[in-house]
Chain A
Amino acid sequence: MKIGLFVTNQQYLETDMVSALDDQYAMVRMARDHGWDSLFSGQHYLNEGNNKQLQLVPFLARMQAEAGEMTLGLGILLLNLHNPVYVAETVATLDVICRGNFVFGVGLGYRAVEFDAFRVPKGQRVKRFEECLALVQRLWTEESVTHESDTCILDGVRMNIRPVQKPRPPIWFAANGDQAVRRAARLGDTWFINPHATTGTNKRQIAIYREELQKHGKPFPKELPIAKEVFCAKDRPTAIEMAGPYLLGKYKDYSKWGQAEAMPGDESLDQPLESLLEDRFVLGSPEECFEQLRPNWEQLGVNHLIIRTHWAGMPLSHALSSMRLISTELLPALRKV
């Protein structure tokens, strides 16, 4: 089992961003020094409510200097907001900065404020996403690309800047809805399972994912990553007390921002912590966390666990205490899986 750190990179408005960035360097260095395998972060534009967030591309590029041998990954880049030439050259540059130790995570996004700001018309989100991904892959591999669409005109262009990894970095697909899970099977190298769904939903969707892979004659991926909300403390009440308010705050925002609209059927994220917790978040002593995580490898086949243990507003000391317990007690047990 590989273990990764998901850096939330979201702060309250009153937080000083320079010191928050120093805090996040400290978290990344702790992960590096304790042998964690990977580092991921996500992307939003125009954060609403009591939140602000650094932009993913410069944030991740700067983190590379702290990450040692850890694999870095975009988790995820909102592909359809961006021009394909921008995406291809920027991601290739990140792969160079990371010396080829890099994951290209992509997703569709769900917020109207972002689509409007980047003028992605309703009804074009999926089309733009698929076209962008296809064009990026052509630009990385072909000697002469000609293309004309609403977003890009190319006339026999050769893109000279290419990723270090040949033909390209692994493409991880975030997907919440059943349709998106099928798209992940069709277009991606693996499905980057989201932290919002219950294990029950994940189980149902992994069956859909397998089915769709078979339909396209693709093998099941060697690597199956999942992001999970995890907080380790001496016992479950302490974990809930330390993490609960911040984790609940994050899910209230997801709900307000419309994340649930991207989820299957009538699943909602607007629930009290107790019911959100169930089958979804991993909170407790290292032993309890291990048992709560067990279905992920036993029933889903997950072999890369990407842990988020810091949310907007949480003091750094809380996050570091959880990371320390994960590093010293949970990680050695997970390594045996």
Chain B
Amino acid sequence: MKIGLVVNSQHHLEKDLVQALQEQYALVRLARDGGWNTVITNMHYLNEGENRHLQIIPLTARLQAEVGEMTLGLGILLINLHNPVYVAETVATLDVICRGNFIFGVGLGYRDVEFDAFRVPRGQRVRRFEECLALVKRLWTEDSVTYESEVCKLDGVRMNIRPVQRPYPPIWIAANHDNAVRRAARLGDTWYVNPHATLQTNRRQLDLYREERARLGLPFPMELPCRREIFCGKDRATALELAGPYISEKYRLYAQWGQDKAMPSGESLSLPFEELLRDRFILGSPEECYEQLRPYWEELGVNHFIFRTHFLGMPVSSAISSMRLISEELLPELRKL
């Protein structure tokens, strides 16, 4: 079992961003020194409400100086907002900066404010996503690419800057909706299982994923990563007290921003916290967390957990205490799997 850390690059407006960044460096170094495997960043443009986000590309590049031997990954890049040449050269550069120890995570996005700002018309989001990903792969592998669409025109171009990993870095696809899960099976190297769904939904969708891979004659991926919201305290009550308010706020924002529109029909994130918790978030002592995580490897076959344990607004000292417990007590147990 591999363990990764989600870097929280979302902060309240009153938080000084220079200081917030120093704190993220500290958390990343704590993960590095605690033997974690992976660091994953994420992205949004035009954050709404009382919060803001550092942009993923410069942040990820800068974090490489702190990660040591850990794998660094985009989790995820909203590729349909961007030009394919931009994506191909930028991601190749990150793979060079990471010396080939890098994951290319992609996703579709769900916020109108982003699609409008980048002029991605309704009805074109999926098409642009698929076309972008296909063109990026061609640019990384072919010697002469000719292409014309409304976003990009290339006439016998050879892209000289290429990823270190051949033919390209592993492509993780985030997917919430059933159709997106099928798309992940078809177009990605693995499905980056999301943290928003309950265990039952993950289980049902993993069957869909397996089915789709089998239908396409593709093997089940060697690596199945799953992101989880987790907080380790000395007991469940403490974990709830320290993390509850922040996870709760983050999910209120998800609901406001429309994340649940991207989820399978009928599922909502506008729930009281106790209900949201159930079968979804991992909170408690290291032993309790271990037991709550068990179904993910036993039933789903997850072999790479990506943990978010620092949330918007949470004091960094709380995140450090959770990370210490994870490093010292949970990680050694997970390593035995």
Closest to B47 in A: A160
Whether B59 contacts A93 by the Cβ 8 Å rule is: yes
Q: Which of A21, A66, A117 contacts B85 (CB 8 A)?
A: A117
Selected from A55, A90, A152, A154, the residue in CB contact (under 8 A) with B55 is A90
**Residue of B at shortest CB range from A13?**
B160
If A58-B90, A96-B54, A160-B51 touch, whether A116 touches B46 (CB-CB below 8 Å) is no
Q: Does chain A have a CB within 8 A of B218?
A: no
Contacts of A126 in B (CB 8 A): none
Which one, A18, A117, A119, A162, contacts B164 given CB within 8 A? A18
Q: Mark A141-156, 1 if CB is under 8 A from B, else 0.
A: 0000000001111110
Tell me if A54 is interfacial: C-beta within 8 Å of chain B: yes
**Interfacial residues of chain A within 109-161, with CB under 8 A of chain B in the complex:** 113, 116-119, 150-155, 157, 159-161
| A4-19 CB contacts (< 8 Å) to partner B | 13, 17-18
Tell me which residues across on chain A come within 8 A of B57, comparing CB atoms: 57-58, 61, 90
Q: A85-B117, A118-B85, A161-B53 are in contact. Are A113 and B58 (CB under 8 A)?
A: no
Q: Does B234 contact A (CB under 8 A)?
A: no
Which of these, B17, B58, B81, contacts A58 with CB under 8 Å? B58
Name B155's closest neighbour in chain A (CB-CB). Answer: A116
Of B21, B59, B97, B152, chain A has the most CB atoms within 10 Å of the CB of B97
Residue of A whose beta carbon sits closest to that of B62: A61
Q: Are B159 and A46 in contact (CB under 8 A)?
A: yes
C-alpha gap A199/B153 in the complex (Å): 38
Taken together as a complex, chains A and B put the C-alpha atoms of A90 and B117 apart, in Å, by 14
A116 to B84, CA, bound (A): 12
Instruction: Give a binary string over A59-92; 1 marks a CB under 8 Å from any B CB, 0 the rest.
Output: 1111011100000000000000111011001101
Question: CA–CA, A64 to B64, complex, Å?
Answer: 11
Q: How far is the CA of A13 from the CA of B161 in the complex (A)?
A: 8
A314 CB to nearest B CB, Å: 18
Contacts of B86 in A (CB 8 A): 45, 81-82, 118
Structural contact, A21 and B96, CB atoms closer than 8 A: yes
Q: Would you call B119 an interface residue if the criterion is a C-beta within 8 Å of the partner chain's C-beta atoms? A: yes
Q: How many residues of B contact A (CB 8 A)?
A: 52
CB of A47 closer than 8 Å to a CB of B: yes
Q: How far is the CA of A119 from the CA of B62 in the complex (A)?
A: 30
Residues of the B chain whose Cβ atoms lie less than 8 Å from the Cβ of A164:
17-18
Tell me whether B157 is interfacial, beta carbon within 8 Å.
yes
Q: Is B304 close to A, CB under 8 A? A: no
Contact of B297 with A by CB under 8 A = no
Residue B150 is within 8 A (CB to CB) of chain A in the complex: yes
**Known contacts A152-B119, A154-B117; is A58 also within 8 Å of B160 by CB?**
no
Q: Is A303 an interface residue (CB 8 A)?
A: no
Q: How many angstroms between the C-alpha atoms of A164 and B16 in the bound complex?
A: 9
Q: How many Å lie between the Cα of A13 and that of B160 in the bound state?
A: 7
Q: For the complex, give the distance between the alpha carbons of A52 and B162 in Å.
A: 9
Residues from chain A with Cβ under 8 Å of B85 in the complex:
45-46, 117-118
Interface residues, chain B, CB within 8 Å of chain A?
13, 17-18, 21, 45-47, 51-55, 57-62, 64-66, 81-83, 85-86, 89-90, 92-94, 96-97, 99-100, 113, 116-119, 150-155, 157, 159-162, 164
Q: Spell out A's residues near B (CB within 8 Å).
A: 13, 17-18, 21, 45-47, 51-55, 57-62, 64-66, 81-83, 85-86, 89-90, 92-94, 96-97, 99-100, 113, 116-119, 150-155, 157, 159-162, 164
A-B pairs, 10 with minimum CB distance: A65-B65, A58-B61, A61-B58, A160-B52, A52-B160, A61-B61, A93-B55, A55-B93, A161-B52, A153-B116
Q: Could you show 18 A-B contacts with beta carbons less than 8 Å apart?
A: A18-B96, A46-B89, A52-B161, A53-B160, A57-B58, A66-B65, A83-B117, A89-B45, A90-B57, A90-B58, A92-B55, A93-B55, A116-B153, A117-B153, A117-B154, A119-B153, A150-B119, A161-B17
* With A61-B57, A86-B118 already in contact, 16 other A-B pairs whose C-beta atoms are closer than 8 Å: A13-B160, A46-B157, A55-B92, A55-B161, A57-B90, A58-B97, A60-B58, A61-B58, A61-B61, A62-B61, A62-B97, A99-B18, A116-B154, A118-B85, A159-B46, A161-B47
